[in-house]
Structure 1
């Protein structure tokens, strides 16, 4: 592997209630539950991955993540169809925004129960 062949594979999302967050991302958003391990009373690790993604999210207790609950604002996910993504989220009880049409893509935003904000981007057609 080259020194510049870096891959982002895990992003921490700060949450206040691990079970509520796990259920939201699995049951409402549709992420796959990879791990939910309670190592001890002080340490629990949950990892979830969206279908088709090489990058997962993680949260839990005792992980030493120094970020305020609800403070994740910078996750952007590329999707094939903004309307379909919005319809999926809304059908599962997620308060997703209207589709925002821009020259650089079509966007839908939503937040998890703690206020962590997600941006979904349908890339513009090329050529």
Structure 2
């Protein structure tokens, strides 16, 4: 079986604000569709270089705005990606790694300032939220695990 994750639905409170925010970060606009009566709207955007997209709008989810946490954007150089996102308007926190060295805990638990000491692939992170509070994490991956 071949399963591909293609779209993640984000709950937002203001569709136009979210669209402007993500386009400002460099996400490509794929679809902006509104029904004739205006009750249904779908906005679909894709992060640069990604196979997976995000979707938000009116009438597309019952989840509370800002309730999605832990969306990961994989980058080859965390410092460069962080700087570019900041330049584009994102409030990206400092680079960090987990005290255990494997994956980051929820919130700030076991968080150590700075990139992974050996710059191990999958080991350095930085986080930001969109205007509604949906939380994104940058993760530096320089060498993928086998089969990835």
User: 2:57 matched to 1:39?
Assistant: no
Q: Secondary structure of the equivalent of 1:88? A: helix
Match of 1:79 among 70, 75, 80: 75
More strand by share: 1
Pairing of 1:19-58 with structure 2 (within 5 A) = 19-27=16-24, 29-40=25-36, 41-58=38-55
Task: Check whether the contact 1:18–1:60 (CA below 8 A) recurs between aligned residues.
Answer: yes
Match of 1:119 among 129, 137, 148: 137
Aligned to 2:123: 105
Query: Post-superposition shift, 1:66?
Result: 2.4
TM-score normalized with structure 1 length? 0.89
Task: Please list every run of at least 4 consecutive aligned residues from structure 1 whose deviation after the TM superposition is greater than 4 angstroms.
Answer: none
Larger Rg: 2
The one-character-per-residue Cα deviations of 1:42-79 (angstroms, maximum 9, x if unpaired) are 0110000011111000000012x121110010311111
Q: Secondary structure of the equivalent of 2:89? A: coil
Task: Check whether the contact 1:105–1:124 (CA below 8 A) recurs between aligned residues.
Answer: no
Unaligned runs of 5+ in 2: 97-114
Size of the alignment, in residue pairs?
122
Unaligned runs of 5+ in 1: none
TM-score normalized with structure 2 length? 0.77
